[in-house]
Chain A
Amino acid sequence: MATLTIDAVGLRKTYGTRTAVRDLTLQVKRGEAFGFLGPNGAGKSTSIKMLLGLVKPTSGRALLLGRPVGDREVRARVGFLPEHFRFYDWLSASELILFHGRLCGLAEDALRRKVPQLLERVGLGTQHAKPIRSFSKGMMQRVGLAQAIVNDPEILFLDEPTSGLDPAGRKLVRDLIREQRERGATVFLNSHLLGEVEQSCDRVAFIQQGNVIGTHEMGAWQADQTVVEIKVARVATSTLERLEQFAQEIRLEGQTLRLRVDGEDRLPEVVRCLVESGVEVYSVVPHRVSLEELFLKTMGPDPGL
């Protein structure tokens, strides 16, 4: 059995002279929650569409669950929430999920039992009979989520799942991602809300101008470098010089000492050095590099897209 759920090598898509995706090369492991990040126009949607078989790549190859993308047997094991989920608005939420379940080839009896549970799970239990035309954007996203998981997919693609959702809805998405992963599913998440990605994903890939420019293990870059803010009193210049063997970018502003260390495990040495030098330490607060900071640093100046 393939250990990779997604294995894409050199996927490229051009429309005439315009290149939407230059080189999509990425591997996603089974059971992983993978964040896919990039600025507007970077080629994220086209990449997802290629992985789902909606768009045919100009060149390159990609396997999903060890089989070519777009294969019908693969699609039976995939769930997808499109970015702006829309559907025939005269259908009720129940009818919509039933329709999608039937399109997945699910047995009628089991499906009829499952639909109320799914709608309950996405918080629409009491709204099941209402036509979706009366639904808010957030409610549509919830129905979209329910249809995406109706077949208990092995890979779940979520394209901007939290757009239009309130904080409770965003929590629902996080919880659903967790539940799907507990089931053993792989989650491929494309979101602009980096905080959401940070909380849900194991690994992220950055895409810019149609190229994957880097993948990061969540938390790995944070462990590499940590900025620390230490409240202190009675710091001598010689102490700062001694600190240079453990830390960089050391700055003393009033009673606040800021410095950067190579990982959190160096902090005790810094504190020991300060205390042994007679410095009074009141608090030590490490500041981790957020995903947003990493994103902005990786992407460079804002092109204003």
Chain B
Amino acid sequence: MSENAIRVQVPTDSLEEQVAKDKAAMGSPSAVLRGPGILRTTVLLARVTFREAARRKILWIAATAGALFLVLFWTGLHAMLKSTAHLPVITRRESISMMLMMALYAASMLTSMMAALTSCDTLSGEIASGTIHAIATKPVRRWCLVLGKWTGFAGMLTLYVLLLEGGCMALACFEGRYLLPHIAVVASLLWLQAALLLGVTMACSTTFSALTSGAITLGLYGLAFVGGWIEQFGALRHIKTCVDLGIISSLVMPSDALWRRAAFKIQPPLLGAAGASPFASTLVPSNAMVVYAVLYAVLALVLAAILFERRDL
């Protein structure tokens, strides 16, 4: 035999015996053969995604911006309350409510941007860099990877909603003794808005680059925003085409409809009568639209999972 040839070495144990020994040492045979379960995979990915997201500079910049925003809101609220001390309680409450609504509107925009910008490169980026190869070759279901990543980002966005929107509500309560009506519903609607955009971004991210995915989501968000205005204007002037256009845009992307539903829940009575503005709803999206938005968010996530399951990595 030539010196370069490698002799085939016969293992002392047969492979079956060896595998059986390994399994005995490493855990139950079923776990080794089938990999982690759905829950364990999802939690593993959610944890690592949350930590990965928490390390992004954009998150810290957004958190700093959020904190500055809260300081600004607090200062403005404080000044406003000081200068309106002589006015009747009902007028003061109206002012606080209006200011809080403006703050929440800005906060919801920031949260929506965060949803799109932090998650747009999670799948596309990891496919491009090859990070996903070592993960997807493990005995895990691909859709669990998507669900886990979504859960991680959703956790991060929940904290962001609590910081920003929760902070605004807490400041209004602390400084102005004003407790927002329907607080849980409003917070849920704003969270749903972020979760919806997250699902859409992730679905795009399975197919497009990070930049394209972010641009598509923010583009749809913009479309819904403008559509919302057109709808409000149409309702005010009784122009059916404008109302229809608004409804169509809400069906394409229901993010703005969710904000308008939240705004309706918290708007002071006078503001509603004042006319169309982003802070008020002359035409209130129905409960059906909220259900549609929930389905949309779920379908976006399901679509992300299916696209990721099918694509070549």
Footprint of B on A, CB under 8 Å? 1, 30-33, 49, 52-56, 72-73, 75-78, 80, 82-88, 90, 99-100, 102-107, 110-111, 114, 144, 147-148, 151-152, 154, 178, 181-184, 198-202, 218-219, 222-223, 264, 288, 291
Chain A residue nearest to B25 (CB atoms) is A110
Assess whether B28 is interfacial by the CB under 8 Å rule. Answer: yes
**Nearest CB on B from A21, distance (A):** 12
B23-36 contact mask (Cβ, 8 Å, vs A): 1 or 0: 00111100111111
Find the residue from A80, A106, A178 having the highest chain B CB count within 10 A.
A106
**Complex contacts, B138 vs chain A, CB 8 Å:** 75, 100, 103-104
Q: Contacts A152-B22, A219-B2: A73 and B136 contacting too (C-beta < 8 A)?
A: no
Cβ–Cβ contact A106 & B139, under 8 A: no
Cβ–Cβ contact A75 & B137, under 8 A: yes
**Complex contacts, B108 vs chain A, CB 8 Å:** none
**Complex contacts, B87 vs chain A, CB 8 Å:** none
**Nearest CB on B from A103, distance (A):** 4
Bound CA–CA A180/B143 (angstroms): 31
Cβ–Cβ contact A106 & B26, under 8 A: yes
**Nearest CB on A from B305, distance (A):** 16
B131-163 contact mask (Cβ, 8 Å, vs A): 1 or 0: 101111111110000000000000000000000
Cβ–Cβ contact A288 & B27, under 8 A: no
Partner of A147 from B11, B41, B48, B134 at Cβ < 8 Å: B134
Q: Contacts A103-B135, A222-B2: A90 and B55 contacting too (C-beta < 8 A)?
A: yes
**Complex contacts, A106 vs chain B, CB 8 Å:** 26-27, 31-32
B277-313 contact mask (Cβ, 8 Å, vs A): 1 or 0: 0000000000000000000000000000000001011
**Nearest CB on B from A217, distance (A):** 8
Assess whether B6 is interfacial by the CB under 8 Å rule. Answer: yes
Footprint of A on B, CB under 8 Å? 1-2, 4-6, 8-11, 13-16, 18-19, 22, 25-28, 31-37, 40-41, 44, 48, 51-52, 55, 129-131, 133-141, 310, 312-313
Chain B residue nearest to A75 (CB atoms) is B139
Find the residue from B15, B48, B134 having the highest chain A CB count within 10 A.
B134
Cβ–Cβ contact B9 & A85, under 8 A: no
Bound CA–CA A114/B18 (angstroms): 17
Cβ–Cβ contact A54 & B130, under 8 A: no
Chain A residue nearest to B27 (CB atoms) is A107
**Complex contacts, B5 vs chain A, CB 8 Å:** 202, 218-219, 222
Cβ–Cβ contact A86 & B131, under 8 A: yes
Partner of B31 from A105, A148, A199 at Cβ < 8 Å: A105
**Nearest CB on B from A50, distance (A):** 9
CB-based closest 5 A-B pairs: A107-B27, A219-B5, A76-B139, A103-B138, A184-B11
Partner of A107 from B28, B139, B310 at Cβ < 8 Å: B28
Cβ–Cβ contact A72 & B11, under 8 A: no
Q: Contacts A86-B129, A90-B51, A104-B138: A76 and B313 contacting too (C-beta < 8 A)?
A: no
Cβ–Cβ contact A82 & B130, under 8 A: yes
Cβ–Cβ contact A199 & B6, under 8 A: yes
Cβ–Cβ contact A52 & B134, under 8 A: no
Chain B residue nearest to A286 (CB atoms) is B2
